[in-house]
Amino acid sequence: MRADGAGPDPQQAASRATPAWEAPLADPAVVRVPGGWIAYGTGPVRDGRAAPAAVSADLVTWVGIGGVLEALGPEAGDSYWAPEVCARDGAWWMYYSVGHGDRGHRLRVARADGPTGPFRDLGVVLTPDELFAIDASPCRLEDGSWWLFFARDVLDHDRPGTHLAAAPLLTPTELGETVPVLAPYDDSQIFARERPMHGGTHTWHTLEGPHVVARDGILFLTFSAGSWQGAGYRTAWAWAASPRGPWTVPPPPDDVLLRSDGEFIGPGHSSCTRGPDGQDVIAFHAWDEAASGRYMHLRPLEVDAAGPALRVRRDQRE
């Protein structure tokens, strides 16, 4: 899949990066847990379970453990997207969306006693008033407060489409007032032109997959932009002192953290964790050469608040 949509470039195939895990795992959320790490992702429902996961003791060798979320009834939907998990108040909480295909998604919450589940939905729709909401990412700030970052559809804007938002996570199952975080700001973030959505036709823009790292009083936001279906998908970043903003985005192309190149096709939907040595690590997915699936990749990350800057340390690639 080249940037022009003409398919894979065979001259670049030899330099493609090896995924961290051999099985597809879209939208990887990697979390440090007792004894190692666990990666949750988007995948099909199998045997009544959604949210496929894999565990690792060293961030190198991964073992799949199957779906960890008990699926709801068919009326809720058949597509479970982008689960993220956090530990809070003596339990483990999964935030995810479910809908029918790519329509009707709402954010929900499930609970488990441990990070490997089973997670059971609590019957709470966190975003009942949104047209469409996906990619929930819980974040505990340095002052101890919790926030939920997510993506939602916005029509009343010069660039209609999927925008980023946040809300205080007052309890594990209750949101405060939603505030806007970031709207699309560049033509490279167009998902599709003349896209039928919500009863109209729009030049549809997409920002999604928000994830925040709090460091020394600064919030670093990574997010994905464009269409997840092709090589134009990319990972960008912004920063702020508070979830309420204002959020600062470096001028393009300095806003882009990861883009398609000789190693990756459509790198996006990232999360961050800490490695065995305390080094920041970014997890993201990218297409394989045959465009048969999105696979998880891991790379060391350098977070420099002095810039501020958020950089992949390309001298330390696998």
pLDDT given at position 2: 27
- Asked whether residue 50 is assigned to any structural domain, the reply reads yes
pLDDT given at position 314: 47
Q: Is 142 a catalytic residue?
A: no
In the set 84, 135, 153, 208, the catalytic residue is: 208
Say whether pLDDT at 3 is over 70: no
pLDDT given at position 273: 96
Q: What is the pLDDT of residues 180-232, one digit of tens each?
A: 999 999 999 999 999 999 999 999 999 999 999 999 899 999 999 999 999 99
Q: What is the CATH number of the domain that holds 251?
A: 2.115.10.20
- Asked whether residue 49 is assigned to any structural domain, the reply reads yes
pLDDT given at position 308: 52
**Rounded CA Rg of the chain:** 18
Q: Is 27 a catalytic residue?
A: yes
Q: What is the pLDDT of residues 36-84, one digit of tens each?
A: 999 999 999 999 999 999 999 999 999 999 999 999 999 999 999 999 9
pLDDT given at position 15: 86
pLDDT given at position 307: 45
Rounded Cα–Cα distance for residues 161 and 67 (Å): 30
5 or 169, higher pLDDT: 169
The structural domain count of the chain equals 1
pLDDT given at position 11: 46
- Asked whether residue 36 is assigned to any structural domain, the reply reads yes
Mention every residue, 6+ apart, whose C-beta is less than 8 A from residue 299: 281, 282, 284, 312, 313, 316, 317, 318
- Asked whether residue 297 is assigned to any structural domain, the reply reads yes
Mention every residue, 6+ apart, whose C-beta is less than 8 A from residue 231: 1, 2, 3, 5, 260, 265, 266, 287
Domain limits at 158? 21-316
pLDDT given at position 303: 80
pTM greater than the 0.85 cutoff? yes
Provide the token pair at 126: 């966190």
- Asked whether residue 156 is assigned to any structural domain, the reply reads yes
- Asked whether residue 2 is assigned to any structural domain, the reply reads no
- Asked whether residue 211 is assigned to any structural domain, the reply reads yes
pLDDT band at 6 (very low <50, low <70, confident <90, very high): very low
Selection from 63, 69, 48, 59 nearest residue 116 by Cα: 69
Q: What is the pLDDT of residues 94-123, one digit of tens each?
A: 999 999 999 999 999 999 999 999 999 999
